[in-house]
Structure 1
Amino acid sequence: MSLAMTVEERQAFLAQVHVAVVAVAGEGGRAPLAVPVWYGYHPGGEVSLITERDSRKTALFRRAGRITLCVQGTALPYQYASAEGPITAIEDTVTVEQRWALASRYLGSEGADAYIESAPGATERMVRILMRPEHWLTRDYTKLSR
Structure 2
Amino acid sequence: MPRTLTTTEREDFLAEPRIGVLSVEGDGDRPPLTVPVWYAYEPGGDLTFFTGTQGRTARKTRLLEDAGKLSFCVQQAEFPYKYVTVECSVLKADREPRVEDVLAITSRYLPEGHAQGFADGETADPTGTFVLFTARPDRWLSADFGSE
TM-score, scaled relative to structure 1: 0.88
Given candidates 102, 127, 130, the residue that maps to 1:126 is 130
4+ residue runs over 3 A deviation? 113-120
1:59-138 residue pairs with structure 2 within 5 A? 59-116=62-119, 121=125, 124-138=128-142
How well do the aligned residues superpose, as a CA RMSD in angstroms?
A: 2.0
What SS is found at the alignment partner of 2:147? helix
TM-score, scaled relative to structure 2: 0.87
> Any gaps of 5 or more consecutive residues in structure 1?
none
More divergent stretch after superposition (85-94 vs 114-123): 114-123
Instruction: Determine if contact 1:96/1:123 at 8 Å carries over to the other structure.
Output: no
> Which of the two has greater helix per residue?
1
User: CA deviation digits over 1:85-121, x for unaligned, max 9?
Assistant: 2101111221222222211111131331353477662
> Any gaps of 5 or more consecutive residues in structure 2?
none
CA distance in 2, matches of 1:73, 1:3: 15
Q: Which residue of 1 aligns with 2:20?
A: 20
CA distance in 2, matches of 1:123, 1:143: 49
C-alpha displacement at 1:133, in angstroms? Answer: 0.7
More divergent stretch after superposition (105-114 vs 87-96): 105-114
C-alpha displacement at 1:36, in angstroms? Answer: 0.2
Instruction: Determine if contact 1:53/1:127 at 8 Å carries over to the other structure.
Output: yes
How many pairs align? 144
CA distance in 1, matches of 2:115, 2:104: 8
* Residue 71 to residue 83, structure 1, CA distance change in 2 (3 Å): same
CA distance in 1, matches of 2:21, 2:108: 16
Q: Which residue of 1 aligns with 2:37?
A: 37
- AA at the equivalent of 1:28: G
What SS is found at the alignment partner of 2:146? helix
More divergent stretch after superposition (4-13 vs 116-125): 116-125
CA distance in 1, matches of 2:70, 2:84: 14
More divergent stretch after superposition (19-28 vs 123-132): 123-132
Quick one: percent identity of the two aligned structures?
A: 36
